[in-house]
Amino acid sequence: MPEFETTYRDLFPVIFKFLYRMLGQAQLAEDITQESFVILYHQLGEIGNPRAWLYRVASNKAKNIIKRNKTWHQIVSKNNEATVSRDMENDILENEKIRLLRKSIQSMTARDQTLLQLYMDGLSYREMAEVTGLRESSIGKFLSRAIEKCSKKLKKEFS
């Protein structure tokens, strides 16, 4: 099935990265990515936009795990130390910026978190609408509000 192989090769790293940012655990992100592709394999002919569909399936699976674990912080905190480099001051500073960005995003609603992640991954408004279930015409408004909220939270952190 060449279509599936191409889709897998092109989208596996993208979906994995998306899930890793959501969950903070590489193995868990890889497992969910694999599960999502198994489901895609069985339904490939029925899906119009595999990229958006994979994001939606992966996002829903990750949200279910987050709900089971009660909070986003429980998942992220388990691996927080692993992200900090002990070698260089620049790595530590960069990781601190990433931590503050994650903290800012974590304090937002699930919808805003998802929109920001999808935006960072370069999805179109149409694809974001397919993933989130929102109207395409509303994506820009919700996304700009989410970016503004995140920006305000970051400015507050640095003040």
pLDDT tens sequence across 109-140:
889 989 988 998 889 999 999 999 999 999 99
What topology is assigned to 2-158 in CATH? Butyryl-CoA Dehydrogenase, subunit A; domain 3 (1.20.140)
CA distance 123 to 50: 12
pTM: 0.61
| In the chain, domain spans | 2-158
Q: What is the pLDDT of residues 59-108, one digit of tens each?
A: 999 888 877 765 545 445 555 544 443 455 566 666 677 777 778 888 88
